Structure 1
Amino acid sequence: MDAPKRRAPRQANAEDGTAQRVVRRRPRDRRAQIAAASAEAFGNLGYHGVSMEDIASRLDISSTALYRHYPSKYALFREETLRLGTLAVEALRLPDELADAPAAQRLEHILDALITQSIANRRSAALLRWQSRYLEPDDNRVLSEHLFRVYTVVRDLLVESRPDLDGGERSVRASAALSIIGSISDHHVSVPVRTLTNLLRSACHTVLDADLPALDSQAESPGATEVPLTFKHELLLKRAIELFHEHGYPQVSVEDIAHAAGLPASSAVYRFYRSKGDILAAAFRRAAERVSAAIGPAIAASESPEQALRTLIELYVRGSFDERELTFVYYAEISNVPAEDRTVLRNIQRLNVEEWAKLVGGMRPELSAAEARMLVHAALALVVDIGRWHGPDNPICSPARVIRLMQVILFGRTAAG
């Protein structure tokens, strides 16, 4: 009896029509791929909205394989957030030939380096802007030190290059420039890298060079009217946003909201809202529709795009100062709105930005539609960034100054408003 013939391995012979056995090799840069995928997920869905299984699915690997590289979701979150902070600090390094250069030249080099880093990490930087408060205290302290160092270097170079400015003006201008650079992570408007670099650089220079109103010429912004205790529907909304702002949406329970609103039990909340997510969506709808409602009347009452845009800027800043917590929460917690409501809100926001961008284009025909939208996003983000960095009641970033900063970003000039 003949000996049985040895069958060739499948992967070496596919002529018989059978499927080849694929040998999957682990990529050498797997850890970097994991970090990039997780950062983008955290930025889009929030730290609490992402699981290790979600990240593994994005990479088409198993959760077990993911845990071989990182022991926990927090380890992933921490590493990528601190990496972005470290990159920002590294952008402060000057080449030897600029060590003794004039302050203005050193400042320009550093701003360009920060812009380059922001563009390179655009898809993940949202977690640095809005999710970093979920870092543990020691890690948060490290990140804060990194970011404060970046701000301090930019501000101190302004001290050297603009000795005519007082300390408050330098501080608010430095914050405004950094806000413009970071704002590109808040949206998905796409323009070529070189165009985007030039656009951000130009916008930074406009806020650094602009004439700002003096402190003694500014009227105080009226505070928001207190909601009567009998208006439970409104009171719930207000107290919920205050809690989301202070603690983060995932950390707040319906019981917390009920207690803050003076309701006897969490069940009383459901008389007004179906869920915690419904409360968040209701607040966001109101904020988005407030901006939408102002556009038509402003255009109808104006003789030019510039006049209409001036009106919209002032209304937006005044409204944002009256509802500071909501303005911050809108940016930080949009990923926690139920998916169906989030789609509606994104569409409203997109239409609002589009209308503002048309006005910008009417004033600056040299800009493409995408470039105009990019500047609108930068101007809108500036309002919340300035307030959260310097404190909502700090006079150096009063409504009159924020209005002027938005104007120069959108108008593209530094002349007095």
Structure 2
Amino acid sequence: MDAQDRRTARKVAAGAGGSARAVRRRPRDRRAQIAAASAEAFGSFGYHGVSMEDIASRLDISSTALYRHYPSKYALFREEALRLGGLSEEAVTLPAQLRERPAEERLGHILDALIAASIANRRSAALLRWQNRYLEDADRQILIDQLTATDAVVRALLAETRPELDGADRAVLAAAAMSVIGSISDHHVSVPVRPLTTLLRAACRSVTTSELPPRSTDTESVGASEIPLTFKHELLLKRAVELFHERGYPNVSVEDIANAAGLPASSAVYRFYRSKGDILAAAFRRAADRVSAAIGPAIAASDSPEQALTTLIELYVTGSFAERDLTFVYYAEISNVPTEARTVLRNIQRLNVEEWAKLLAAVRPELTAAEARLLVHAALALVVDLGQWLGPDNPVCSRRRVIHLMQLILFGRPAI
């Protein structure tokens, strides 16, 4: 047997006998795989709910191998957040051949590019929407600059296509379109890429070409009424949600909640709730039950599916405006609810969306069930996005205007 034969025999023996250890080759795109897996984990479970060991386990590699690529969990988080922000900047960069085209064509191209980027990064984009508060100040400013630059391009093109709009109204329509595009990261409704693109494009067009209702000259007062100090369990819920919204759930202690509610010690909290997670679950359950409870009466009191859904939109917006903090905290912090309670909440939300989607499908029979659910999610997300991006009490995104925009997303037109 010559040398070549011996080498061949050794290779065969190693592969067939199993006694020799197989060599595992490191994939060339390992770093990209790590980034994608970490972003999906952060989006699903929150920055503080994921460890380097969790990410390594998802990839079936050791923590040591993971640290060879990234020195820390924060380094992973930062890189993916800024990568996603950079993608939005790239999407609004027009190719040279389009720069002299009509403004409407340029706006359409940019919205399509943003939609494509959102679809391609759907499983990781929740990180950008709900976890960016955990970036360090300097890094968060970079992200803000990236997103501001993206928004500025959309607003500038709206100024060209809709010169009758003032700056505030352009801000509302740009934010609404970006909310529609980004909303697909908040849920798992599956629609093939081509119809998904068509659906998002149509919803964006309905929004960007709409005539907004006049701004209200009166200050809208829909805040929740003051809770008497004797209702300690109610006060605990209210103060806890405020703190979760302000600081983020992981950065709030039971002692912080007790102090905010005027209780003498953190132990007093446990007379009402077993844990910080149970406080969060109780607040979410009330909000979910409120939405559920409205469905039956709205349908019974309406003459048509459109009228019923219009009533539900109005009730939802009014309730959300009364509890702005809770609406945001639900999207950002639901991963911190205890598992059993989170399953219950997800089921309630799924059923609520399903009922809305059935009404929408009756109004728009051309939609599949999945497409109707996707539009419902987009309309619901709009409420929290406008409040976060433009300010909770900003008159340019009043209840009347938000209701109007939700109707456009769902019906493709104002409600009849």
Tell me if both proteins adopt one fold, taking TM over 0.5 as the criterion. Answer: yes
| Alpha-carbon distance, 1:170 to partner | 1.0
Cα distance in 2 for residues equivalent to 1:364 and 1:37: 37
| Alpha-carbon distance, 1:89 to partner | 0.2
For the 8 Å contact 2:169–2:396, the answer to whether it is kept is yes
2:271 is equivalent to residue 271 of structure 1? yes
For the 8 Å contact 1:11–1:21, the answer to whether it is kept is no
Amino acid across the alignment from 2:239: R
Cα distance in 2 for residues equivalent to 1:49 and 1:336: 8
Query: For residues 255-278 of structure 1, what are the alpha-carbon distances to aligned partners after superposition, in whole Å with 9 as ceiling and x for unaligned?
Result: 000000000100000000000000
Query: For residues 318-341 of structure 1, what are the alpha-carbon distances to aligned partners after superposition, in whole Å with 9 as ceiling and x for unaligned?
Result: 000000000000000011111111
Residue 365 and residue 263 in structure 1: after superposition, are their counterparts in 2 closer, same or farther (change >3 A)? Answer: same
Amino acid across the alignment from 2:403: I
2:126 is equivalent to residue 126 of structure 1? yes
Aligned residue for 2:257? 257
| Alpha-carbon distance, 1:167 to partner | 2.0
Aligned residue for 1:23? 23
Aligned residue for 1:280? 280
Which SS does the other structure have where 2:131 is aligned?
A: helix
2:117 is equivalent to residue 117 of structure 1? yes
For the 8 Å contact 2:14–2:21, the answer to whether it is kept is no
Residue 103 and residue 218 in structure 1: after superposition, are their counterparts in 2 closer, same or farther (change >3 A)? Answer: farther
Aligned residue for 1:229? 229
Query: For residues 199-232 of structure 1, what are the alpha-carbon distances to aligned partners after superposition, in whole Å with 9 as ceiling and x for unaligned?
Result: 0000001111122210147772422101111100
Q: Give the aligned CA root-mean-square deviation in angstroms.
A: 1.6
For the 8 Å contact 1:10–1:21, the answer to whether it is kept is no
Amino acid across the alignment from 1:232: K
Amino acid across the alignment from 2:272: F
Query: What does 1:150-161 correspond to in 2, within 5 Å?
Result: 150-161=150-161
Is the deviation greater in 339-348 or in 164-173? 164-173
| Alpha-carbon distance, 1:60 to partner | 0.4
Aligned residue for 2:358? 358
Aligned residue for 2:55? 55
Query: For residues 299-352 of structure 1, what are the alpha-carbon distances to aligned partners after superposition, in whole Å with 9 as ceiling and x for unaligned?
Result: 111110000001000000000000000000000001111111111100000000
Cα distance in 1 for residues equivalent to 2:354 and 2:218: 31
Residue 116 and residue 13 in structure 1: after superposition, are their counterparts in 2 closer, same or farther (change >3 A)? Answer: same
Cα distance in 2 for residues equivalent to 1:341 and 1:19: 48
Structure-2-length-normalised TM-score:
0.96
Is the deviation greater in 37-46 or in 102-111? 102-111
Runs of 4+ in 1 over 4 A off after TM superposition: 6-11, 14-20
Report percent identity of matched pairs.
76
2:377 is equivalent to residue 374 of structure 1? no
Query: What does 1:145-224 correspond to in 2, within 5 Å?
Result: 145-216=145-216, 220-224=220-224
Amino acid across the alignment from 1:279: I
Residue 57 and residue 262 in structure 1: after superposition, are their counterparts in 2 closer, same or farther (change >3 A)? Answer: same
Aligned residue for 1:42? 42
Aligned residue for 2:69? 69
Aligned residue for 1:318? 318
Structure 1 runs not aligned, ≥5 long: 1-5
Amino acid across the alignment from 2:285: R
For the 8 Å contact 1:218–1:398, the answer to whether it is kept is no
For the 8 Å contact 2:216–2:398, the answer to whether it is kept is no
Structure-1-length-normalised TM-score:
0.96
Aligned length: 411
Amino acid across the alignment from 1:272: F
Amino acid across the alignment from 1:211: E
Aligned residue for 1:3? none
Query: For residues 3-53 of structure 1, what are the alpha-carbon distances to aligned partners after superposition, in whole Å with 9 as ceiling and x for unaligned?
Result: xxx999875316985545211011111000000000000000000000000
Residue 34 and residue 225 in structure 1: after superposition, are their counterparts in 2 closer, same or farther (change >3 A)? Answer: same
Query: For residues 115-150 of structure 1, what are the alpha-carbon distances to aligned partners after superposition, in whole Å with 9 as ceiling and x for unaligned?
Result: 000000000000000000000000000000101111
Structure 2 runs not aligned, ≥5 long: 1-5
Cα distance in 1 for residues equivalent to 2:22 and 2:140: 44
Query: What does 1:243-254 correspond to in 2, within 5 Å?
Result: 243-254=243-254
Amino acid across the alignment from 2:314: E
